[in-house]
């Protein structure tokens, strides 16, 4: 695999070009084929000098995709010339040259915070290229400050820093003399070399000296080093110590698991350096992509203030701001936010809130109604209102009883004669239960529009609104569990919004922090909140709270996440992707073992069946879903099935091109595994 190194500097004029030449010459002397790219040059002839010195043969357009006349930051220089920088041109040149050469030197422009385009700095380019850097600093007064600032920013920004090269060292002044030792004491990265000031650098002798200096004074080994993959060791330790959720550990111990080490945008990178498209948003949480600048920065900013402070008896800034924002975007009528830290807790809170609420209204409403195929989490309360036998039957003895109504699972509905047409016959049972038990029922709990874990069961339009009406009619609260479907997944900010429904209680989690940190919120109405209001001695308090309730870091991430919905017009941009997805899924229907394809927004469930005509499912032990997802990994995509249903639930920020990659991988994997 070829290697690359980005040469940046503490400031302009520190000697990036000279050091690029020095390293290039020293590597060539070792017989290494060196390539060079300077993506942006503003005035001067640095590129020509390096091309000549290193004998570069590549096309100048690749070596220097952007040249401007004025000695300014590229953002200003190219703007003045009316040139819009197209980063794809830079990435494409970089990839071409990297493929061609054993080692590619990328020379930056100015320092890390030099702007290239609106909202895009040199540091962003480095992160996008995913290359390590060497920092060139020039010896002298001010060097320590500039060097430490650059190093600190780079490390904080997630850039890999190989080390610092002190250039132009004459050793004459006290500052220069003391620079290397002082820096060694304060840097977190090594000093890779101290390069002496050379005279007549452009002469033949000067260049010879430069190569010699680099060979002798720059630690080329450190520059060339590749981190040894620790995969073996990590897998062993994982198997030694970790019990994975929803996983048959005997299989896990036999398998070769992937260990994720990094991520960027829609992709995850494993410990061997292979990138995979995150086809299920890291279990339905990621929204704007991984390592999203704005969310990273918000967490760091909050970290500089306070990581955690309790909401028991105190308030904290981000939780207050977030609550206001959540109420502003939630369905109208919801007025209060109760925080917790997982979807299951959000549901527990909803159940306890509803249960306690009716006690204050002197009503013996103590039971709940849930739907078949429902999944609301793994804690005892949420399992009690779960409708998936596979997950829930084991714990039967621990659970409280709850009434069960039918799931609007059109594909399997024995009542619907003309699927996909629907007359909501599946509501009959709910109507009966409500008629019979409304006086003892506190609430109906549902996952609106899509029962996710139950198999991506997409509801027929309008049925959720009907459920709301029935709850009103029978004086039963409606709890909407939007843990999976909230925050844009269905194409609407909240699924309830799609049918103009305001539930009495709304459970949110997963996407709330953009997929960064555990946070959940249970929203409710003023009416429910007011029922708990009373004298201290009345003990009407809602006796519930978790240690990390309203965690400031998580709330800061959530605020940044919501900010991005506005700034990036996420929901508007989602609409063409949803259409594209729908169109592309058509061709899956022709496959022999596809029973049903269900889509709502960017959520897709592809149901595999043994027999298309009879809808006979694949037997559980055949692990067909698991096999398809394992195959998809060979095509660079991470998926996780729900039994025989293949789930696609990518980050909302996924590009159309990436979406195509996801679909192609799923198609190939399904075709190959089901034959
Ligand atoms: C609808 C729904 N509710 C609740 C949960 C539980 O959330 P958590 O895993 O954060 O406890 C999930 C998780 O998938 C879910 O899909």
pLDDT tens digits, one per residue of 387-425? 998 877 889 999 999 999 999 988 877 666 555 556 788
Question: Can you read off the two tokens belonging to residue 45?
Answer: 């002839």
Q: How far, in Å, is the centroid of ligand 1 from the Cα of 642?
A: 14
Coil vs helix vs strand at 604? strand
Q: How far, in Å, is the centroid of ligand 1 from the Cα of 376?
A: 5
Name the residue with tokens 């055949």: 622
Contacts with 278 (C-beta within 8 Å, 6 or more apart), sequence order: 263, 266, 267, 268, 286, 290, 638, 650, 651
Round to whole Å and give the CA distance between 670 and 654. 22
For ligand 1, what atom is nearest to the CA of residue 482? 1
For ligand 1, what atom is nearest to the CA of residue 518? 10
pLDDT at residue number 70: 95
Helix (H) / strand (E) containing 571: helix 570-585
pLDDT at residue number 9: 97
Q: How far, in Å, is the centroid of ligand 1 from the Cα of 133?
A: 41
Question: Can you read off the two tokens belonging to residue 160?
Answer: 């890999």
Record the pTM. Answer: 0.88
For ligand 1, what atom is nearest to the CA of residue 379? 11
Residues touching ligand 1 (Cβ under 6 Å) are 342-344, 347, 375-377, 447, 452-453, 481, 483-484, 509
Q: How far, in Å, is the centroid of ligand 1 from the Cα of 288?
A: 20
Round to whole Å and give the CA distance between 35 and 103. 6
Round to whole Å and give the CA distance between 114 and 335. 45
10-residue mean pLDDT profile of the chain (675 residues): values are 88 92 92 96 93 95 96 96 95 96 96 95 95 95 96 93 93 93 96 88 80 86 77 94 95 94 96 95 98 96 97 98 98 98 98 97 93 96 93 89 93 66 83 97 98 96 96 98 98 98 98 98 98 95 96 98 98 98 96 96 98 92 96 98 97 98 98 94
Q: How far, in Å, is the centroid of ligand 1 from the Cα of 49?
A: 59
Coil vs helix vs strand at 317? helix
Round to whole Å and give the CA distance between 120 and 122. 7
Q: What are φ and ψ of residue 288, in 5° steps?
A: -100, 15
Neighbours of 114 (CB within 10 A): 23
Q: How far, in Å, is the centroid of ligand 1 from the Cα of 503?
A: 18
pLDDT at residue number 392: 76
For ligand 1, atom 8, the nearest C-alpha belongs to 343
Tally of residues, the chain: 675
Number of H helices, E strands in the chain: 26, 27
Q: How far, in Å, is the centroid of ligand 1 from the Cα of 364?
A: 29
For ligand 1, what atom is nearest to the CA of residue 347? 4
Q: How far, in Å, is the centroid of ligand 1 from the Cα of 275?
A: 27
For ligand 1, what atom is nearest to the CA of residue 451? 1
Round to whole Å and give the CA distance between 55 and 49. 10
For ligand 1, what atom is nearest to the CA of residue 447? 1
Round to whole Å and give the CA distance between 116 and 122. 6
pLDDT at residue number 42: 95
Q: How far, in Å, is the centroid of ligand 1 from the Cα of 388?
A: 13
For ligand 1, what atom is nearest to the CA of residue 377? 6
Bridge partners of residue 165, in order along the sequence:
136, 193
pLDDT at residue number 419: 53
For ligand 1, atom 9, the nearest C-alpha belongs to 343
């Amino acid at each position: 695999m070829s290697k690359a190194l980005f040469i940046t500097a503490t400031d302009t004029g520190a000697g990036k070009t000279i050091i690029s030449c020095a390293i290039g010459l020293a590597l060539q002397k070792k017989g290494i084929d060196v390539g060079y790219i300077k993506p942006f040059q503003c005035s001067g002839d640095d590129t020509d000098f390096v091309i000549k010195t290193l004998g570069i043969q590549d096309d100048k357009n690749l070596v220097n995709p952007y040249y401007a006349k004025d000695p300014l930051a590229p953002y200003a220089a190219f703007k003045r010339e009316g040139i819009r920088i197209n980063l794809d041109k830079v990435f494409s040149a970089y990839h071409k040259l990297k493929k061609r050469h054993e080692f590619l030197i990328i020379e930056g422009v100015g320092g890390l915070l030099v702007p290239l385009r609106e909202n895009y700095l040199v540091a962003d380019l480095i992160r996008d290229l995913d290359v390590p850097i060497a920092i060139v600093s020039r010896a002298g007064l001010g060097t320590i400050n500039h060097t430490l600032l650059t190093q600190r920013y780079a490390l904080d920004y997630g850039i890999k820093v190989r080390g610092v090269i002190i250039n132009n060292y004459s050793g004459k002044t006290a500052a220069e003399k003391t620079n290397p030792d002082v820096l060694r004491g304060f840097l977190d990265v090594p000093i890779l070399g101290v390069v002496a000031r050379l005279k007549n650098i452009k002469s033949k002798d000067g260049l010879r000296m430069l190569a010699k200096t680099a060979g002798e004074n720059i630690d080329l080994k450190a520059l060339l080093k590749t981190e040894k993959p620790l995969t073996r060791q990590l897998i062993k330790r994982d198997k030694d110590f970790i019990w994975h959720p929803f996983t048959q550990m005997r299989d896990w111990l036999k398998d070769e698991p992937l260990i994720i080490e990094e991520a960027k945008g829609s992709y995850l990178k494993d410990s061997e350096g292979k990138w995979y498209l995150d086809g299920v948003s890291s279990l339905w949480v990621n929204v704007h992509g991984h390592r999203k600048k704005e969310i990273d920065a918000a967490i760091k900013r909050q970290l500089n203030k306070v990581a955690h402070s309790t909401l028991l008896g105190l308030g904290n800034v981000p939780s207050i701001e977030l609550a206001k924002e959540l109420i502003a975007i939630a369905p109208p009528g919801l007025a209060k936010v109760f925080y917790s830290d997982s979807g299951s807790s959000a549901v527990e809170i909803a159940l306890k809130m509803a249960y306690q609420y009716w006690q204050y209204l002197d009503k013996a409403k103590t039971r709940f109604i849930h739907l078949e195929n429902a999944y609301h989490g793994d804690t005892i309360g949420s399992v009690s209102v779960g409708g998936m036998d596979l997950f829930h039957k084991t714990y039967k003895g621990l659970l409280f009883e709850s009434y069960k109504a039918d799931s609007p699972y059109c594909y399997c509905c024995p009542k619907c004669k003309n699927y996909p047409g629907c007359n909501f016959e599946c509501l009959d049972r709910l109507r009966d239960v409500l008629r019979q038990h409304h006086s003892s029922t506190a609430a109906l709990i549902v996952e609106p529009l899509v029962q996710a874990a139950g198999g991506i069961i997409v509801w027929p339009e309008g049925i959720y609104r009907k459920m709301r009406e029935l709850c009103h009619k029978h004086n039963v609260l409606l709890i909407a569990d939007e843990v999976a479907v909230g925050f844009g997944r269905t194409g609407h900010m909240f699924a309830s919004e799609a049918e103009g429904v305001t539930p009495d209680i709304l459970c949110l989690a997963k996407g709330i922090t953009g997929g960064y940190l555990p946070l959940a919120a249970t929203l409710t109405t003023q009416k429910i909140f007011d029922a708990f209001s009373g004298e201290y001695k009345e003990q009407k308090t809602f006796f519930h709270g978790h240690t990390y309730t309203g965690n400031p870091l998580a709330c800061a991430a959530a605020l940044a996440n919501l900010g991005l919905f506005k700034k990036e017009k996420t929901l508007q941009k989602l609409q063409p992707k949803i259409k594209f997805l729908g169109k592309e899924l058509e061709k899956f229907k022709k496959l022999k073992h596809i029973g049903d394809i269900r889509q709502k927004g960017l959520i897709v469930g592809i149901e595999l069946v043994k027999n298309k005509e009879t809808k006979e499912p694949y037997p559980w032990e055949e692990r067909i879903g698991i096999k398809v997802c394992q195959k998809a990994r060979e095509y660079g995509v991470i998926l996780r099935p729900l039994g025989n249903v293949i789930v696609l639930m990518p980050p909302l920020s996924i590009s159309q091109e990436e979406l195509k990659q996801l679909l192609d991988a799923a198609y190939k994997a399904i075709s190959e595994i089901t034959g």
